[in-house]
Amino acid sequence: MGSNQLLLVVAALGILITLQLSINGSLIRSFVADLDGEATIDAVSVGEAMVDEIQTKAFDEQVISTRIFDLNLLSTAASLTREGSSETSVPAYEREPFQSKSTFNDADDYNGYTRIVSSPRLGDYNVKDTVYYVSGSNLDSASNTQTWWKKIEVKVTHPNLLFPVTVK
């Protein structure tokens, strides 16, 4: 084999290696995008299920057994949290079966609540809830006083998500 042929073989191998690296890079980027898309769809689903669960509960602790027509009788903005026995009976990072479904009786109980939801394909999603009063004139503005409106924000994180998903 002459030096010209050896030079052609080395150049062909160089081109082949460059082509293979390019193909591998494209496949990896495609795989990462697929995982992010699947994780995003699952995270939105987990977040919406959490919002649906919260919406099945009473608006406020004070309206469970009676009707309230005076805002001042609602729980204060500073006291939007679990009350009584539910505070100790539900673990900080709860896993299925979720005790919150049977223990929590109003939306406030979910403020600061965290849970881990397992997916058979992608593993664990971390879910954190925030519940707060909002102004009636601007539903994106938190209120330090009682109002007839509360906002539920569910933040879902997962290692395959480029950014956390927030469901409101």
Model confidence pLDDT, tens digit, residues 5-25: 888 888 889 998 998 988 888
- Rounded Cα–Cα distance for residues 78 and 156 (Å): 24
Walk along the chain (168 residues) and give the pLDDT tens digit of each residue.
Answer: 678 888 888 888 999 899 898 888 888 888 877 888 899 999 999 999 999 999 999 999 888 888 888 888 888 888 888 876 555 567 778 888 888 888 899 999 999 999 999 998 899 999 999 999 999 888 888 999 999 999 999 999 999 888 899 999
Contact 119, 137 (CB under 8 A): no
Q: Is the peptide bond before 91 cis (omega within 30 degrees of 0)?
A: no
pLDDT tens for each residue of 139-161: 888 999 999 999 999 999 999 88
